[in-house]
Structure 1
């Protein structure tokens, strides 16, 4: 089992606008982790489920879009868990750009 990395990104956009902006910026998700690429994604209500792949490792992830925040969860496999702190820092820095 991997190590989950969680990040809360506050916003003032409201639920519908936040979902719209995330949908428009979904192609940038792979940029959140160096060398990663987006493999698949789908919405279930207000939850975006997506899979990234980096260095041959699959990262199951989701974003829970709420009225005033986006809560992201990336379940890092053991090999990438070594970089959990750096990945979290990058998500905190780059994640808000998806909502611009």
Structure 2
């Protein structure tokens, strides 16, 4: 599933805000969970969200005016695709709107 999150911050500021918000992300996972994240490229963040005994691989590509999230929802969580999409979009928007 692909999710586009528009912003007007520019690439560097968007990346800075996403980096600053990552440590807080686990606190907002409904029912609890863990997040593992690393930057394999300057503007690509690879994450794994572990929740409800399932892993959700997620990749964020930070562009000048958009963040493209690619989320691989496992079969066991397909019925939760809408709430997962809402969580990722909402979390990214919160990170982008809160100056650090």
State yes or no: 1:7 paired with 2:3.
yes
How well do the aligned residues superpose, as a CA RMSD in angstroms?
A: 1.7
* Structure 2 residue runs without a partner (length 5+): none
Q: Distance in 2 between matches of 1:68 and 1:25?
A: 18
In the comparison of the two structures, how many residue pairs are matched?
95
CA apart distance, 1:30: 3.3
State yes or no: 1:25 paired with 2:21.
yes
Q: What is the correspondence of 1:16-55 to structure 2 with a 5 Å cutoff?
A: 16-30=12-26, 33-34=29-30, 35-38=32-35, 40-43=36-39, 44-55=41-52
Corresponding residue SS for 1:52:
strand
Larger proportion of strand = 1
Confirm or deny: 8 A CA contact 1:46 1:66 kept in the other structure: yes
| TM, length-normalised to structure 2 | 0.83
Confirm or deny: 8 A CA contact 2:44 2:60 kept in the other structure: yes
| TM, length-normalised to structure 1 | 0.83
Corresponding residue SS for 1:83:
helix
CA apart distance, 1:31: 5.2
* Structure 1 residue runs without a partner (length 5+): none
Q: Deviations over 1:51-89 (max 9, x none)?
A: 110011111111000000111111111111111012223
CA apart distance, 1:32: 5.9
1:62 alignment partner in structure 2: 59
